[in-house]
Structure 1
Amino acid sequence: MARYIIRRLLLAIPLLLIISFITFVLINLSPQDPAELILQAQGIPNITDALIAQTNEELGLNQPFIIRYLHWVAACLHLDFGDSYVTGKPIWSLVGPAFLNTLKLTLVSSIVVIVLSILLGVLSAINEGKMIDKSVRGISFLLTSMPSYWLAAILIWYISVKLDLLPTSGMDSYKSYILPVTVIAISYAGIYFRNVRSSMISNLNEDYVLYGRASGLSEKKITMHILRNSLQVAISIFGMAIPIILGGTVVVENVFAWPGLGSLSIRSILSRDFPVIQAYILIVAVAFVLFNTVSDIVNAALNPKMRKEI
């Protein structure tokens, strides 16, 4: 198992390097001179060629592309993403707190999504073809087809404005989590429960289920055994749910004024604060790779056959 973990981690390194290179390239594809963008973001009214040349010299922007990339990667390894074009502050001082706020929302939402997916998947699978199964699938399809911004607006209008039960924005208390977590759970649980249901139905048709019933085992024990085998398939899916939710909180954070990465990225895009955008893209991409690696390791721990795939 230790050898598998080491091999899996080693495979993640070149992938992370490729992601960092693509991120750096995309940000540097802007037709404008980076120094000119910095001066514009700082609100300098009269931008001259001499001022642009001076800024390029001070920030090392006149160095060859590959040198700037290597310096940037080395700095990122120390969580130094440079300085904001707009505020001039270190980017990590902006991204760090925002990342923690988004991570809190993501973890709470992921737990709710996973629990709901398992409960709905099991309920739907053991009642396959019955009214309960059809109702759960129909309602989940209806809810997941709703745009998250529209659903969020409806909940704010009814629960926060009309009933005055929950706050509309911010993260002042546990009540602030309820509405954004509800929107995220509705958006994702209806998708992931289908994977649990499909895996459960597949296991229901296995021979060990027939043998268990023939041996007189209770339906509860059989269902728990089926669920355990089904979750081995769903673990990789749930492992990727966390970074997907992390990257998909942009709309929810902006609707509920949640002070996280999503809100920060939108403000940075509008102000053309490219280093912050660059840091956001890199953090989300790295999260995808790391969570995918972790889910593979967990799957390998549960299923020894997977350890031979690498």
Structure 2
Amino acid sequence: MLRILARKIFEVLIFLLFITFISFLVVRLAPGDPVLTILNVDELSVNQEQLEALREDMGFNKPLLVQYGLWLLKFFTLDFGVSYVTGQPVMDMILMGLPATMELAAGALIVMVVISVPLGSLSALYRNSWIDQLGRTLSVLGAAIPSFWLGLILIELFGVRMHWLPTMGRDGFISLILPSLTLGLAISSVYVRLLRSSLLDSFSQEFIRAARARGLSEKRIFLMHAFRHSLPPVITVFGVSLGSLIGGVVVIEVLFAYPGIGKLVVDAIRQRDYPLIQGYILIMAIIVFIVNACVDLSYRYLNPEMKLKEREANR
């Protein structure tokens, strides 16, 4: 266990160095001049000396690696700088919008689980039945329909015509329903098909036949053996597709005017607020890394074969 923990810490350090350098380089090489953004030259007349003075004051005239080193020192103290537009600390702005984004992501995941687990399981249990046909049809439709278009349909149906649900803003649980449903429906199609195929593979394994030979009930076989065996591929895909989920959250937040960090960073891109963009990239990358690390650790529980292999390797 200590060896695994030491390896994970080393991976974290390498990952942080890599992602901080890439994000810093991408932001610094992006088109536009942050100094012009800060001074708002469209509304204020400035001369070249003022521009150069501000560049020197902010360290933009130093070599790129020196700028990165100075910024990296601040990063390890969780100082991401201040917004060029609002003047607020970037970390404070991200922490203000993060709860809304986490709520939306959690709501989408709940919708995904509620849809994909029963539908994928029933499709595998009743293969080639009308339930299986329905599940595969809904999966194809879900994969083919863009999430923003589905969101517009739900807004038109439940918000404009029926007046059942709010379509903009964040005002309690009810305002979370439509955006969560939009994002959850969009991502559930992948997991319905994946869980179905994984369960069918589990049903063909020798340990399932052995469990039936011992006289175990089909319910116990499904819950304790087949379903657990089918989870690692699903969790693996979830770890890989987490970036797509975060990207979908950004689109849905803009569509529903949901005040999370996705909408915040879209506004930052329009205004060339580079510190905020960079802070967003780093926070999301760290979240993705943490989730993937948890996925790796969960394999030890879901797949006992990994424990056996580790014991054999340590002998």
Identity %: 36
Q: Is the 8 A contact 2:231 2:302 kept in 1?
A: no
Counterpart of 2:215 in structure 1 is 216
| Worse-matched range after superposition: 46-55 or 20-29 | 46-55
Residue in structure 1 matched with residue 83 of structure 2 by the alignment: 84
The reply to whether residue 122 of structure 1 matches residue 112 of structure 2 is no
Counterpart CA distance in 2 for 1:155 and 1:115 is: 19
- 1:228 corresponds in structure 2 to 228
Q: For 1:176-255, what aligned pairs fall within 5 Å after superposition?
A: 176-224=175-223, 225-240=225-240, 242-255=242-255
Query: Which consecutive residues of structure 2, in runs of 5 or more, have no partner in the other structure?
Result: none
Q: How does 1:1-310 map to 2 (within 5 A)?
A: 1-40=1-40, 44-224=43-223, 225-240=225-240, 242-303=242-303, 305-306=305-306, 308=310
Other structure's SS at 1:61 match: coil
Q: State the 1:305 CA deviation.
A: 4.6
CA distance in 2, matches of 1:123, 1:47: 68
Contact 2:34–2:272 (8 Å) recurs in 1: no
With the length of structure 1 as denominator, give the TM-score of the two structures: 0.92
8 Å Cα contact 1:239-1:294 kept in structure 2: no
More deviation, 238-247/214-223:
238-247
- Give, in angstroms, the shift of residue 112 of structure 1: 2.6
Q: Is this contact kept in 2: 1:244–1:288, CA < 8 A?
A: no
Query: Relative contact order (C-alpha < 8 Å, sep 6+): which is higher?
Result: 1
Instruction: Indicate the larger mover: 147-156 or 6-15.
Output: 6-15
Shift in Å, 1:243: 4.9
- How many Å separate the matches in 1 of 2:303 and 2:102? 29
Partners of 2:96 and 2:278 lie apart in 1 by 17
What's the TM-score once normalised by structure 2's chain length? Answer: 0.91
Secondary structure, aligned partner of 1:228: helix
Shift, 1:44, TM fit: 4.9
- State the 1:177 CA deviation: 0.9
User: Could you say what secondary structure the match of 1:122 adopts?
Assistant: helix
Distance 1:218 1:233, change over 3 A: same
Secondary structure, counterpart of 2:30 in structure 1: coil
Q: Distance in 2 between matches of 1:193 and 1:16?
A: 34
Deviation of residue 69 (structure 1)? 1.0
Q: How many Å apart are 1:188 and its aligned residue? A: 0.3
Change (3 A) 1:283 1:241: same
Give the whole-Å Cα distance in 1 for the aligned partners of 2:8 and 2:301: 13
Deviations 1:120-162 (A, max 9, x none): 2211111122221121111121123111111111111111121
Aligned partners of 2:9 and 2:293: how far apart in 1? 7
The amino acid that maps onto 2:70 is H
State the Cα distance separating 1:211 from its structure 2 match. Answer: 2.1
Task: Measure the CA separation in 1 of the matches of 2:158 and 2:294.
Answer: 38
Counterpart secondary structure, 1:248: helix
Structure-2 separation of matches of 1:199 and 1:127: 14
CA contact (8 A) 1:196 1:234 kept: yes
Bigger mean CA deviation after superposition, 183-192 or 141-150? 141-150
Partners in 2 of 1:178 and 1:70 — Cα distance?
44
- Contact kept, 8 Å, 1:102 with 1:260, in 2: the verdict is yes
Corresponding letter in the other structure for 2:142: L
Closer/same/farther in 2, CA of residues 258 and 31 from structure 1, 3 Å limit: closer
One-letter amino acid of the counterpart of residue 282, structure 2: L
From the superposition, tell whether residues 52 and 259 of structure 1 become closer, same or farther in structure 2 (CA, over 3 Å).
same
Alpha-carbon distance in 2 for matches of 1:265, 1:22: 18
- 1:247 is displaced (CA, Å) by 3.2
SS at match of 1:89: coil
CA RMSD of aligned residues (A): 2.1
Aligned to 2:86, what secondary structure does the other structure show? coil
> How much does 1:187 deviate?
0.5
| Deviation at residue 14 of structure 1 after TM alignment | 0.5
Quote the offset at 1:300 in angstroms.
Answer: 2.7
Q: Any unmatched runs of 5+ in structure 1?
A: none
Q: Spell out, residue by residue over 1:74-124, the C-alpha distance to the aligned partner (whole angstroms, 9 max, x if none).
A: 222332211111122211222211122101211222233234322222111
